[in-house]
Amino acid sequence: MRRVVITGQGTINALGKDVKSTLGAMSNGACGIDTLEFANVDRLNVSIGGQIKDYRAEDHFSRQEIGLYDPFTQFALIAAKEAIAQSGLEFPEELATHTGVILGTAGGGLTTQDENYRSVYEDGKNRVHPFVVPRLMNNAAASHISMIYGLNGPSFTVASACASSNHAMGQAYHMIRSGMSEVMITGGSESMLCFGGIKAWEGLRVMSKDGCRPFCATRNGMVQGEGAAVFVFEDYEHAKARGADILAELIGFAMTSDASDIVMPSQKGAASAIRRALRDANVSPEDVGYINAHGTATAANDRTECAAIREALGAAADTVMVSSTKAMHGHLIGGTGGVELLATIAAVKDGMIAPTINHSIADPECNLDVVPNTARQQKINVAITNAFAFGGLNAVLALRKV
Amino acid sequence: MSVEDKIIAIVAEQAFLEPSDVSPSSTLEELGVDSMALVECIFSIEEEFDIQVPFNANDPKASSFDISSIKSIVTAVEDLIAAQKA
């Protein structure tokens, strides 16, 4: 099997409009969650989120492009541009044939659906814009990246709710590892911060109205975010031969399914995903220095995830650093694993351990080192990043310092 | 139908029981109402009485909306109707 490395990363999210500003915000423990601004927000009970403020599509795209790109596609394109530029890759025909795009998203072009349902149902219009379908389809972002960079390899979109990005990046990893592809553009994108997107989540009664406080005894629910993070995954020999800067090496990936409940998480399913990822990476629990947790700040997830980490790591759980960066950028649903991989890369590459902010009172049911409130500088070699989706779909990636 | 009768009907439907099997002293636990059925009950109560019920599934006991028994739910709903329809 081939070795797989990461040679580019890009993002736009509530913490920053590129990787540098996002990692700077994470190391400062900044919070990107604020009052939401969009149509009909006054009719919502939940009015906070990790929204990208001062975002203007016109700063990035032409009028024709904006007509075709839902915000989830715009975010993915902005992140992909940064990642591919950093990688230094160009895609002549031979490489383009062996390069594809696999992205995760849960809602796809939800804002486009929201606006057009409002137009036909509420405003009574009988005609919609001709590009509604190509804007809203879940594969739009992956397809536009493939078109802009002329990538002819395998491209598609993965939808597994909150694990979409991790499942997508796992597929990309496997394709290079097996020799099917040389390079893959991968990550995730989400733009669910619109009236319909939040209203639907409100119904489930798991959202916090006042803040995201993972692992804290005062936590009372999740807070949504938006944005994208996209990476360049590359065959190690290919990257080495061209003298690329390597950010980190992917060393393992595992997926499991709880097969139990459509919303409640399972300790057994999560623990099994973590354990199998470590086995796939051929590392022992003591080797793991940092875990970027799923950490949604719901009562159920955080309690279950901490128990799963204990079950999978045993005594090593006493010393491993575990943080949920969702307290800073919000839960990007299908895009969240992407933004969280940025924090995981920073941990192995620079020893920057992003904190779990908003932590005031320890919860005995979350008795791990959750890196409360302040980032740490600590050299580590191996880190994992967890994603556990509604529907019981778990996906865990393992990285190593290069 | 009284508020109590309506609430018994809503809970009975979620618990797959006949209304006659539900009494004011019944607890949701006894009736087999799990967390998802509870969220559906709250939704049905809001729709039936056109009120907003303060309820967060992360910590059902933290809210002022007392769900410890059918009787307590009836009292809480009557209070919300009085407060929100005033």
pLDDT for residue B35: 86
Which of A209, A241, A273 corresponds to the end of one domain?
A: A241
* A247: in domain: no
Which of A221, A241, A261 corresponds to the end of one domain?
A: A241
Cβ–Cβ gap A219/B58 under 8 Å? yes
Task: Return the structure tokens found at A162.
Answer: 């909150």
Do A196 and A262 reside in the same domain of the chain?
A: no
Do A36 and A180 reside in the same domain of the chain?
A: yes
Reported as a single tens digit per residue, the pLDDT across B12-61 is: 999 999 999 999 999 999 999 988 899 999 999 999 999 999 998 888 87
* A321: in domain: yes
Do A179 and A122 reside in the same domain of the chain?
A: yes
- What range defines the domain where residue A262 resides? 252-400
Candidate from B35, B43, B59 with C-beta closest to A220: B59
Which of A241, A273, A298 corresponds to the end of one domain?
A: A241
Do A170 and A261 reside in the same domain of the chain?
A: no
Do A284 and A237 reside in the same domain of the chain?
A: no
Domain count, chain A: 2
List the one residue out of A244, A190, A231, A254 whose CA is nearest residue A14: A190
Given a contact cutoff of 8 angstroms between Cβ atoms, the answer to whether A160 and A170 are in contact is no
Contacts of A263 in chain B (CB under 8 A): 36
Contacts of B62 in chain A (CB under 8 A): 220
* A271: in domain: yes
Burial code of B47-86, b = ≥16 C-beta within 10 A, e = fewer?
eebebebebbbbebeeeebebebbbebbebbeebeeeeee
Hunting for tokens 């932590």 — which residue is that? A359
Do A135 and A282 reside in the same domain of the chain?
A: no
Residue B72, domain CATH? 1.10.1200.10
Active site residues of A: 162, 294, 331
Do A295 and A393 reside in the same domain of the chain?
A: yes
Given a contact cutoff of 8 angstroms between Cβ atoms, the answer to whether A337 and A165 are in contact is yes
pLDDT for residue A22: 98
* A38: in domain: yes
Do A373 and A256 reside in the same domain of the chain?
A: yes
* A294: in domain: yes
Closest chain A residue by Cα to residue B46: A203
Hunting for tokens 């406080």 — which residue is that? A213
Domain count, chain B: 1
Cβ–Cβ gap B58/A300 under 8 Å? yes
Residue B86, pLDDT above cutoff 80: no
Do A121 and A26 reside in the same domain of the chain?
A: yes
Given a contact cutoff of 8 angstroms between Cβ atoms, the answer to whether A6 and A326 are in contact is no
pLDDT for residue B60: 81
Using pLDDT thresholds of 50, 70 and 90, give the confidence band for residue B64: confident
Residue B63, pLDDT above cutoff 80: no
Do A175 and A258 reside in the same domain of the chain?
A: no
Do A225 and A325 reside in the same domain of the chain?
A: no
Cβ–Cβ gap A205/B55 under 8 Å? yes
pLDDT for residue A80: 98
Contacts of A45 in chain B (CB under 8 A): 52
Residue A11, domain CATH? 3.40.47.10
* B50–A contact, CB cutoff 8 A: no
Q: Distance between CA atoms of A390 and A369, rounded to whole angstroms? A: 26
pLDDT for residue B22: 96
pLDDT for residue A112: 97
- What range defines the domain where residue B12 resides? 3-84
* B52–A contact, CB cutoff 8 A: yes
* A396: in domain: yes
pLDDT for residue A58: 97
Cβ–Cβ gap B58/A45 under 8 Å? no
* A117: in domain: yes
- Interface confidence, given as ipTM, is 0.78
Q: In chain A, which residues have pLDDT < 50? A: none
Do A309 and A211 reside in the same domain of the chain?
A: no
* B36–A contact, CB cutoff 8 A: yes
pLDDT for residue B79: 95
pLDDT for residue A42: 96
Cβ–Cβ gap A221/B43 under 8 Å? no
Contacts of B39 in chain A (CB under 8 A): 203-205
